[in-house]
Amino acid sequence: MANQRLRALLRWTKWADWAIAAVGFTIIIFVLTFFFDSSSTDGAASSVNLPASDLVDLTLLHNAKDRGALCLDGSLPGYHFQKGFGSGSNNWLLHIEGGGWCNTIESCSTRKTTALGSSNLMERQVSFSGILSSDPSQNPDFFSWNKVKIRYCDGASFAGRPESEFKNGTNLFFRGQLIWEALMDELLSVGMSNAKQAFLTGCSAGGLAAVVHCDDFRERLPQHATVKCLADASFFLDESDVQGNRTMRSFYDDVFHLQGVAKSLDKNCLSRMGNSSCLFPREFIKNIRTPVFIVNPAYDFWQIRNILVPDVSDPQGYWQTCRLNIHSCNPNQLEILKGFRNSLLNALSEFQQKNEAGMFVNSCYIHCQTWMAETWHSPSSPRINSKTIAESVGDWYFNRGAVKLIDCPYPCNPTCYNMDFTRH
């Protein structure tokens, strides 16, 4: 069984690498669990094999069709809901899955033939782990809460607008904002309107969606409720790549115009910047009123592989082995990666000054870290000052102490899980 799953993971990893280069998709993180390299453990981290009773069914949005809230291919959006219990019965944790963006008609047309663009292709059941786990040993602060995994199928971090659709027979639906609104109304109708505590979280493009909609989430919930947000591996940088090109800025500009996301972004940022720069967290996070926690690796492999050293900027393959495994980087490459880390810390400096802000920036070569037990909270999880990500987030959410943790530069942290793509 393990070998069968490993072969499947290898296929998905190869597809994801192609999708990033050709379509701009985020690597689909759930396929990569077997490829961790940890300085503090022997071998690869293993997936958690959960019994069928711990699998959570897919629910399609009931009123989505009438409201025009549709995935890229016109199918109904979906989510997985696990009811809370005990002291968590009136608390809600939402987690938006990641999956990159599509920036052209061609890439969105390809995307709609995958689970990132069509609910027809989504798994009907998924396991909840990490921040979504109901196991107190894996998720000590949020295990008993009502938990929702929001499936991502619009390709623009739930910010697309139907007025930007092309009426030329492509049959693409840019309805991310409508999906968000319909989803919120449905969850409010099934109990979230009585929430005492609520937490909107997300990974990668899903984390970007979480902060884009953070204040709106706050406004929809009871005034007396404690409401906060978390973005995991979502602090994407507007940095030049190794050839001096603004690859990510150009990509975001395409998404911005193709799916018409401006109306979903922060109005203050748009009045100041007036363009796709407001898709970069550094800009729009300045005006968020709701408390936000940033979980981000200083050596985010997705950003290094797609912003700092995209394939097109390394035609001779100088960075090939370094991109596959940070342990293979030469001193000059490590110095450039250190500079990228410095750019991240500089971009976070203003946010860091906010009293209610929280941060956990470790020096690991990884991407999302909150949804897996191995990186969220386990005996071998990454730590800063002896605290796991789960412990740090919990301390911040429940006001047990200020949490603004920044790791020392690579390779100082022996607890890191570092992705090793050479294993396949």
C-beta separation of 140 from 121 below 8 A: no
Measured CA to CA, the distance from residue 407 to residue 297 in angstroms comes to: 9
CA neighbours within 13 Å on the CB side: how many for 142?
Answer: 34
C-beta separation of 286 from 269 below 8 A: yes
Annotated active-site residue 204? The verdict is yes
- From 141, 266, 300, 407, the catalytic residue: 300
C-beta separation of 225 from 195 below 8 A: yes
- From 95, 213, 367, 377, the catalytic residue: 367
Calculate the alpha carbon distances from 195 to 88, 91, 131, 212, 222 in Å: 10, 5, 18, 21, 7
Other beta carbons less than 10 A from residue 343's beta carbon: 19
Annotated active-site residue 254? The verdict is no
Annotated active-site residue 238? The verdict is no
Measured CA to CA, the distance from residue 173 to residue 413 in angstroms comes to: 44
Measured CA to CA, the distance from residue 306 to residue 136 in angstroms comes to: 36
Identify the three-state secondary structure at position 276.
helix
- From 129, 204, 363, 378, the catalytic residue: 204
Measured CA to CA, the distance from residue 395 to residue 385 in angstroms comes to: 13
For the annotated catalytic residues, the residue numbers are 204, 300, 367
